[in-house]
Structure 1
Amino acid sequence: MTAPLFYLGAHQPHWLWNAEFPLFVSHRQLTRKARLRPATCRWALDSGGFTELSLNGRWLTSPGQYARAATRYAEHLGAPDFMSQQDWMCEPFMIERTGLSVREHQERTVVNYLELRTLAPALPWLPVLQGWTLSDYLRCIDLYASAGVDLAALPRVGLGSVCRRQSTGEIGHIVATLAGRGLRLHGFGVKTGGLQRYGHQLASADSMAWSYNARHLPPLPDCAGHKNCVNCLPYATRWRGRLLAGMAARGHQTDLLALQAHEGSAP
């Protein structure tokens, strides 16, 4: 079994110039940086959609604004592995927040992907499958297909609306079914339990779980200068190392150790 390429979620954009392993960085944070320079690591872009929809019940950032910002990031940071589209999440509370249906969220997600591809065709946009039940996700595949998008032919496809229920058997079944259709999935916000259950069926995954842990624990002994390590790259690096080592011990040793050697970050 193969292990997913793991991106550490980073809410500190300056880590792009200090880290030696893949980072998943939010547009909401990166757009605040007036000056950008080439990143020292692989990176991918998070659209920040969960926060934007939670706060506003709709997208305030237009596709044009997002495409221009993404173009700027690619020009100054270097080519990203992928850039997440402006998708519409389908968790029940998000459906209640927007007042729209799951089907409407899916249709808006597909339309946005097509628009971003038109606005900035050279960028590696990541289409996202949205839904709540397995039948929802399968319908979303059909919506993309009807728009002329063959998801199985793309390098990666995001799997949306799973991060808050990823330890359930239902999500494992959804991942297995979609992967069985030839989709190379990216798991958003996958925690340790999710990686252990179905990580081998993902092409890649990201997680910010380290920050939650750091918020509720004392700082590292060599980080006595701050209250906790919630913004601390050394803490995040060690957390990542423990995560990869733990997964390697559970049966993914060859793939993950190869990845660590490639990235130059032994646990």
Structure 2
Amino acid sequence: MPNHVTHRIVITGADADIRAFVDRCIVTTHRDATEHQPAFDEQTFDFSTLIPMPEELKNVTDGSTMQWGLMLVGRADLARAYYTLENMLDWPWVKDAGVTTLDELRAYLIKTHPTIIADGEAAAARHDKYGALSWYDWSIREWGTKWSGYSYRLVSDALGRFEFMFDTAWSTPDPIWAKLAEEFPTLLFEVVGYDEGSGFAVTGEIRDGENYVECVDATDELYEATYGEPPTRYEDEDEDNDAGDHGSADTDSDAATDDEASSETV
């Protein structure tokens, strides 16, 4: 589970301009009933309405097979540093397969993963076209965070004023603030946010087509401005929290890790 960064946004301006934002960016999706819950309509602040994710990258994950494929098609420059054919010769499952040379390793990977060459070529083509291997890489670069906005909550909706809250994973969506400034220059967006781990907070305005939202140190005042209530303190809580890295895009990846050296992941 990520650290959730909760944001509260108050939008003021001409009501027609506010409606234009709501109609475009607050998306309603119908969720069918399941064994555990009835059908319902879910609203989200959908970042793709501002910066669309290419269809070709949706649902594409960056796993070990893709990394091996990149190396086999001569695009090791796109693979993560610890993915080299030379390093793999020392991996236990490679040794267990009786593989001792680079040629044997190439042949073994192609035999056990018949689509590996095609996967590598497709990954390289996506990177050349979009600058990303997967949805994750693209999201971090284009949205500044792992996923689109989630856990949308409408706070109030009045003439000339709209207030809502939403969460992001690990970091604040800096590119989205910039895009809001570009797309809705007649509106005033007052933004506050707080990382649930108290690593950083968010504050600032988007007005007159300019973005003034920034990450700052977490404070009790910004906690209360975001959540609508003061923080709860416990006797054993260390109140001197480290301010952290101020909400840079998260480096937690769904991609493979060094653990794959000990067991093959398809």
Normalising by structure 2, report the TM-score. Answer: 0.23
Higher helix residue share:
1
Of the two structures, which has the highest relative contact order with CA contacts closer than 8 Å and spacing of 6 or more?
2
TM-score by length of 1: 0.23
* Larger radius of gyration between Structure 1 and Structure 2: 2
